[in-house]
Amino acid sequence: MRIMHISAECYPVAKVGGLADVVGALPKYQNAIGAMSSVIMPLYNNAFTNKHKFISIHDSQISLGNTKVDFSVLKLTESILDFDIHFIHINGLLFKDYVYSDNDTDRFLAFQIAALDWILTLNDKPDFIHCHDHHTGLIPFMTQESFKYESLNKTPTITTIHNAQYQGWMSYENLYKLPRFNIERVGLIMWDGMINPLAAAIKCAWRVTTVSPSYMEELKHNANGLELLLRAESAKAIGILNGIDSEVWNPATDTYIIENYKKTSIEAGKKANKKWLCDQFNLDESKPLFAFIGRLVGEKGAELLPYALDYALRSKDISVIVLGSGSKDTERQLFELIPRHTGNYNAFIGYDEKLSHIIYAGADFLLMPSRVEPCGLNQMYSLRYGTVPIVRRIGGLKDTVVDIGDNGFGICHNEVSIQDIVVAISRGKDFYKHQKEFKANRKHIMSIDHSWKVSAKAYINLYNSIN
Ligand code: ADP
Ligand code: GLC
């Protein structure tokens, strides 16, 4: 079974968030159970590209409306990943030192068209085309409706919605940039007067998945305008919980962290990582350490953090570290909190993969007060590193964290509010005081299995169910 994943991100090549982690892991675990899974993504001008060598295996040109755009398909000279990966290289358009910007219409249109043009030329065509998020949302439409891709119209397409907040909207004037199709079919790509790639994918893909069962249900009531569509298409839609790459995220072997540890050495291991963090960030290691890692956006409840943390820190009995970037206002407010709570609070505004691993390893608690969380990987990483997740009951967080009050292992709250976050932190503090139970719990959470084994198989079963 040949599966081609098409995505804007893939770890370790280019990562903005969890999409990269998923696309960097799912193919590997699908291959481990006998599939032939590969990835095609844009080539960006980033650290990975600068560090590795590529060869061109295909050069051609696409039309984006009246503009001719040259592209090449590149592959790595050495196989360093556990799956084949190909890159669409378009100088000046895709090849940037960022993944996303405010105006990506032409970039991802060109990416999708070039990817399909290349697939047309392959001798061994994929049996399934698996698209991720709106950046690849027009592919299911194009394979079904564009005249030049007619030979692909029997190849099933699957779209995974990682986040329905972003839909790739573009104005109607961009219609002429799509490869020719019967204009009477234009309704398939429209939603609310705009070209909407995510809506097009939901309408045209043979199957639609999202990254947790709860989010699938939530989408029927809250999908940034696509609720009715998701209800209408629910017969072909399913939520499959993400896994984590348990080789990359393994405290026993993680090369980013300060001291490796297993369940049997958890106390010493977490202590060493916590000490390093507290030394680096001027925090008190004798207090419970609460952390936040993530994009500083409304979906993550991030704009409440400065207020909730300011309040929680008044009692001076906790340490807090924040790693994130996003909204400039929230970044500034989190930064301004540092002098107010010197010695108990610090923030690293930016993106730092290594630091994120050390925080998962060294923190006692991880905060996720998300407004929307399709799956969330942070809570699963934190479990694997013996760090207690404090989450809002929503989406994938609801599916993966059970409150200690319900015989579970984490702390859950219902609302995205300053009060709920502060109360949850306070419950964490109380739990930390009961060191015997706290230590037993962290050993327990390290062994909760969120590896890809089950979900990689669930996707294969889904492909097999298509006939
Ligand atoms: P989302 O994809 O919505 O951002 P996820 O929980 O699925 O949320 O995944 C977030 C991923 O990005 C995790 O691997 C997390 O560790 C990482 N991450 C987020 N922000 C940062 C940051 N500032 N520095 C390092 N890693 C980050
Ligand atoms: C999205 C979601 C996040 C999910 C990730 C990977 O970015 O916001 O909840 O874990 O995709 O599927």
pTM: 0.96
Q: How far is CA 22 from CA 195, 322, 377, 451, in A?
A: 27, 23, 9, 11
Q: Which CATH number fits domain 263-446: 3.40.50.2020, 3.40.50.2000, 3.30.2030.30, 3.30.420.280?
A: 3.40.50.2000
Q: Is the CB of 351 under 6 A from ligand 1?
A: yes
Alpha-helical runs (H) found in 298-376: 305-312, 328-340, 353-362
CATH-assigned architecture of domain 2-245+452-466:
3-Layer(aba) Sandwich (3.40)
User: Hey, which bits of 339-382 come out as E strands?
Assistant: 345-349, 365-368
Q: Give the pLDDT of residue 334.
A: 98
Nearest alpha carbon to residue 42 among 20, 65, 64, 25: 20
For ligand 1, atom 26, which residue shows the shortest CA distance?
353
Q: Residue range 196-204: average pLDDT?
A: 98
Can you tell me which residue has the tokens 């319900």?
406
pLDDT, tens digit (0-9, with 9 covering 90-100), for 302-360 = 999 999 999 999 999 999 999 999 999 999 999 999 999 999 999 999 999 999 999 99
Which ligand has the nearest atom to the CA of 323?
A: 1
Separation of CA 17 and ligand 1 centre (Å): 4
pLDDT, tens digit (0-9, with 9 covering 90-100), for 284-318 = 999 999 999 999 999 999 999 999 999 999 999 99
Confidence label for 148 from pLDDT (cuts 50, 70 and 90): very high
Residues of the chain with pLDDT > 90, as a percent, come to 100
**How far is residue 381's CA from residue 155's CA, in Å, rounded to a whole number?**
35
Among the atoms of ligand 2, which is closest to the Cα of residue 396?
A: 9
Q: Give the pLDDT of residue 467.
A: 74
Nearest alpha carbon to residue 214 among 391, 446, 457, 4: 391
Q: Residue range 443-459: average pLDDT?
A: 96
Q: Give the pLDDT of residue 80.
A: 92
**How far is residue 63's CA from residue 204's CA, in Å, rounded to a whole number?**
23
All CATH 3.40.50.2000 domain ranges of the chain, comma separated, are 2-245+452-466, 263-446
Q: Is the CB of 243 under 6 A from ligand 2?
A: no
427, pLDDT greater than 80: yes
Do 385 and 442 meet the contact criterion of CB atoms below 8 Å apart?
no
Nearest alpha carbon to residue 283 among 362, 357, 390, 368: 362
Report the mean per-residue pLDDT for the chain.
97
The terminus-to-terminus CA distance of the chain in angstroms comes to 14
Using most ligand atoms within 8 A of CB, pick from 293, 372, 397 the residue to mutate for ligand 1: 293
pLDDT, tens digit (0-9, with 9 covering 90-100), for 217-252 = 999 999 999 999 999 999 999 999 999 999 999 999
